Structure formats: structure tokens, C-alpha cells
């Protein structure tokens, strides 16, 4: 499994697409956070990163599908998955290796954004007067959100040989998982159905963690969500005649 993980990670790091997508993510988040008047922290006047953590999920909608789209789609297109499947590794090990490689790349994309917290801390009066708990909780929530989106991207990549189709499917599924259930909850007037739909929304649990409160229900939700989509990926690649 480690060999597959290392192969997949190095393949991503050797890909120009990975650097372009991460560069676009950092450029877009930097411009939105510091330069554009409508979203700039400097214009907002308060020492908090709520603007960044509110924008980051929508940037993830395009960053993560761009990273994951080649995971299985490229293997299917080039016919190399058959060679991989004949190695002494199980389907689960292959899936987890590809999943972890993509998730590590998401972590690499987030690491440079830590400078935002330092910058805000230095700009406050007095220095360091920021809500550290909320920022830590938001970063944990953002990592879990990224992990959930990666599981969707891996699943979408296993559905098709075409990377562009995998990207489009992943963007749609990520958007629906993030905002779709909340939108549907507004359609139904029955309180019980509305609550169920809201609790199924990633945004609901992400916003809960962004307040700096680490609830076990949110952690269980994200873990279950990830395992469900990885399980669906296992069903697809396990039952397919490659």
C-alpha cells in the first residue's frame, strides 16, 4: 500500500496540473482575502478569518476535483489498472493509497494559508488578540471538508475513463453535498424532513466546527461520509471487468 501511495503522490507532484490548481487556489484566496474590496479583511476591519473559511469550500469545489480526476480515470484510459490489480494489494489498499495521496496534496495546498493567521495576529491591536480556538476549529473543519471532497472525487474518477467527465461529476457531487441538502430542506415544510436534510449537509457540520466547537457528532458525520463514498468506490472497482 505504501508503494502505491508513494507512486500516486509522486505522480501528482510531477504533474503540472497539481501545481496549477494549487497556485490558482492560493492566488484566488489571497486576492479575495486581501485585495478585493468586497471581501478584503483590511476593509472589514475585524481580526478574523471567517471570510477565508467561508470562501475556501467554494474554491475546494474546483481544486479537489482537479486533483482527484485522474486517480482511476487515467488508470482506466491507459489500461494500467490491470497491472496494479495483479500486485499483492487489495482493492481497499489501492483506494486508500490513492485517497491518501490526494489528501496529502490538499494539505500541501492549505499549509501556505497558515500565514494568513500569522498576518492577522500581527495586524491586531494589541498583537495576538485573535480567536485562536475558532481558527483552529475552522482549519480542522476545512481539513475534514477536504477529506470528504477527496472521497467524492475518488468515487467520481472510478465512474469514467474521461478525466474531464470525472472532474465535472466531482464538482457537481461536491456542490450538492455541500449546499444541495440545505436547499432541498427549504422546499419541505415538514420539520422532521427539514432537520434530516440539514443534518445531511456538509455545510451544517462545517459551520459547526468553524465556531471552534469540536462536536463528536460532526467528526462521526465526516468519517461516515468518507467511508460511504470510499465504499461505493470499492463496489465499483471490485465488480468491474477491467
Rounded to whole angstroms, the Cα distance separating 210 from 224 reads 19
Q: What is the length of the chain?
A: 242
pTM: 0.88
Segment 109-151, tens digit of pLDDT: 999 988 888 888 777 766 766 777 778 888 999 999 999 999 9
User: Which residue reads 469540536 in cell numbers?
Assistant: 214
Lowest-confidence pick of 33-47, 49-63, 131-145? 33-47
pLDDT at 64 over 90: yes
Amino acid at each position: 500500500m505504501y508503494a502505491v501511495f508513494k507512486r500516486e503522490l509522486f505522480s501528482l507532484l510531477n504533474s503540472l496540473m497539481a501545481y496549477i490548481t494549487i497556485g490558482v487556489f492560493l492566488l484566488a484566496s489571497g486576492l479575495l482575502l486581501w485585495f478585493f474590496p468586497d471581501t478584503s479583511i483590511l476593509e472589514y476591519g475585524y481580526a478574523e478569518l471567517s471570510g477565508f473559511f467561508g470562501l475556501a469550500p467554494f474554491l475546494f469545489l474546483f481544486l479537489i476535483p482537479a486533483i482527484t480526476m485522474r486517480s482511476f480515470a487515467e488508470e482506466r484510459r491507459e489500461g494500467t489498472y490491470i497491472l496494479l490489480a495483479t500486485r499483492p494489494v487489495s482493492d481497499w489498499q489501492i483506494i486508500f493509497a490513492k485517497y491518501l495521496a490526494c489528501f496529502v496534496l490538499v494539505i500541501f495546498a492549505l499549509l501556505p494559508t497558515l500565514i494568513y493567521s500569522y498576518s492577522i495576529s500581527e495586524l491586531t491591536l494589541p498583537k495576538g488578540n485573535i480567536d485562536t480556538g475558532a481558527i483552529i476549529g475552522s482549519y480542522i473543519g476545512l481539513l475534514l471538508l477536504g477529506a470528504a471532497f477527496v472521497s467524492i472525487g475518488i468515487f467520481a474518477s472510478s465512474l469514467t475513463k474521461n478525466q474531464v467527465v470525472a472532474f465535472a461529476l466531482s464538482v457537481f457531487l461536491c456542490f450538492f453535498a455541500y449546499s444541495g441538502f440545505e436547499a432541498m430542506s427549504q422546499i419541505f415544510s415538514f420539520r422532521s424532513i427539514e432537520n434530516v436534510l440539514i443534518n445531511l449537509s456538509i455545510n451544517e457540520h462545517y459551520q459547526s466546527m468553524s465556531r471552534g466547537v469540536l462536536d463528536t457528532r460532526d467528526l462521526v458525520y465526516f468519517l461516515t461520509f468518507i467511508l460511504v463514498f470510499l465504499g461505493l468506490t470499492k463496489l465499483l472497482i471490485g465488480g468491474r471487468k477491467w
